[in-house]
A and B are shown apart, each in its own frame.
Chain A
Amino acid sequence: GQQLNQSPQSMFIQEGEDVSMNCTSSSIFNTWLWYKQDPGEGPVLLIALYKAGELTSNGRLTAQFGITRKDSFLNISASIPSDVGIYFCAGRIGNQFYFGTGTSLTVIP
């Protein structure tokens, strides 16, 4: 299956800092999704993007659907300790979803 290139693989940041992560692919997607996964839990949907160029916010989170439809980024502003977890991107083609390998975020109080 297709794999999305997600970077960075891991991040260690101070509480209060902003965070940025992105996903790229050689394929064009119809939808980009961003999930957060806590240890031992299933991924929880954070933001869904449906149109090229779309910029969507959810609290301190902002995500954009790239104009080329081959990439997306997620920003987290003013990080807090509970932002710790693994963040995944996912892209949809038809009925199938393809996932990035995840960005592990550690927030140091």
Chain B
Amino acid sequence: DVKVTQSSRYLVKRTGEKVFLECVQDMDHENMFWYRQDPGLGLRLIYFSYDVKMKEKGDIPEGYSVSREKKERFSLILESASTNQTSMYLCASSPRSGPKETQYFGPGTRLLVL
């Protein structure tokens, strides 16, 4: 079974704090993704990574950065949290592009920024 885990299910932070969201996958997948999910807006891609130390901006990278030092771990960083970053954050992973590529999600981290 593919397993994608996220370090926290719920987080409460204050405006201006630096926030780290960690994601780990155990299937040796090359690709990892960070999304945020908001009511009425669906899933929006923040950043993705095709390999260790590689990162690509998604649709809404502003206010976020990422780190991929090891293949199994992809971290999302909010340098200075703001209230409009209150959201559900979903990590996902998939194997390198091939005919049977499928994406698997973690359980999500619900972040509240006060």
Contact = CB atoms under 8 A, between A and B. Distances in A.
Interface of A: 1, 3, 30-31, 33, 35, 40-45, 48, 50, 88, 90, 92, 94-97, 99-102
Interface in B66-114: 90, 92, 94, 96-97, 99-108, 110
A42 B103 contact: no
Contacts of A101: 40, 42
A88 B99 contact: no
A97 B103 contact: yes
Interface of B: 4, 6, 31, 33, 40, 42-45, 48, 50, 58-59, 90, 92, 94, 96-97, 99-108, 110
Contact of B100 (A45, A50, A94, A95): A50
B5 to A, nearest CB: 10
Contacts of A50: 99-100
B31 A33 contact: no
14 contacts: A1-B58, A30-B99, A31-B102, A42-B90, A42-B106, A50-B99, A88-B42, A88-B43, A90-B103, A95-B48, A95-B50, A97-B94, A99-B42, A101-B40
Contacts of B59: 1
A42 B105 contact: yes
Contacts of B50: 95
A42 B25 CA distance: 14
A90 B100 CA distance: 14
B42 A102 contact: yes
Contacts of B102: 31, 33, 45, 48
B42 A43 contact: no
Contact of A33 (B45, B103, B106, B107): B103
A48 B103 CA distance: 10
Contacts of B103: 33, 45, 90, 92, 97
Contacts of B43: 88, 99
Given A94-B97, A101-B42, A43 B90 contact: yes
